[in-house]
Every structure is written in C-alpha cells, then in structure tokens.
Amino acid sequence: MPVEMIAAQDRENRRVKTRFPIHRELRYRLMQDGRVLEAGLGKTLNMASGGVAFALDRPLSAGSFIELSISWPVLLDSGTPVRLVVFGRVLRSGQGVSACTVDKYEFRTQSRAPQVSTGFRGDVMPPRWARMAKEESKFTSVASGYQSIRG
C-alpha cells in the first residue's frame, strides 16, 4: 500500500485506541444523582478500552451518566456467565447508534438461569425485613401476654 494512502487512513481515524467489533446483548441505565432516569436494552457494535459504541432503538442525551451491563462471551472456569459493567458518559447518540466513554469498569458474575423481570412488586418484603417483622410480632405477643398475666 502506498505511503500516501496509509497517511490518509491515519488522518481519517482519529481514535487512539483500537476498536474491536464485539456484538453482545446489553442493558443500560441512565443515571442522575444516584437515580435511574431511564433503562433499556441494546447491542454493542464495537468496544475499546476508552469507549463503547452500541445500538439502541432511541437516542440518548449526550453528557448523561450511563451504566452498561454487557453479556461477556467467555465463561469462568466453573461455567459461570460473566457481565462486563461499564460506567461512563454518553458522547453522542443518533440514528440508532450511541457511544459512551469507559470511565470505570468491572466484571460481575451473573445467574446461570435466565432471569425474567416481572417488574416491581410492592407486596414483596426483603427477607431481612421479613425476619425483623416476624421477631417484632413475637415480642409484641410476649409483651401483651405479660400484660394479661400482670393485669
């Protein structure tokens, strides 16, 4: 390849880090002040150590904090699936493609069985709170029994 063509390609590609075409399922959450503003699903298009390009069905606001949870193609030794969780900012978004920075990342294990979200249920009490409520009712019944004996 002639030197002129290589120089022209280098001028066109301004990225310092190499992007890898990795196509994986992802979940995203837009965050502001510790609250989730929006959440959804998409697919990665390419990834590098400095950023991720991904496809969504709607545009995102540039500058927003984002968390991506990406299914990782490699299993741990025990066969446990892994997710790559990326924290960054939306750089650009439009025409079905968005890109964000990689400010921080971590790998997390995930359940082997597919998880189906049924949405928020207000009637479910976390196990720790359920135990505390049970113990509280036990103490209340003991106290009322003591009052009737004393009474």
State pLDDT tens for residues 62-116. 999 999 999 999 999 888 999 999 999 999 999 999 999 999 999 999 876 655 5
* pLDDT over threshold 90, residue 132: no
Output the pTM of the full model: 0.64
Query: Is pLDDT of 134 > 80?
Result: no
With tokens 């964000």, the residue in question is 100
69 CB burial (10 A radius; 0-12, 13-18, 19+)? middle
> Could you tell me if 108 and 82 are in contact, meaning their C-beta atoms sit under 8 angstroms apart?
yes
Domains and CATH numbers, the chain: 3-114 (2.40.10.220)
User: Could you tell me which of 134, 136, 87 has the C-alpha nearest to residue 108?
Assistant: 87
Whether the Cβ atoms of residue 103 and residue 87 lie closer than 8 Å to each other: yes
Q: What is the mean pLDDT of the chain?
A: 77
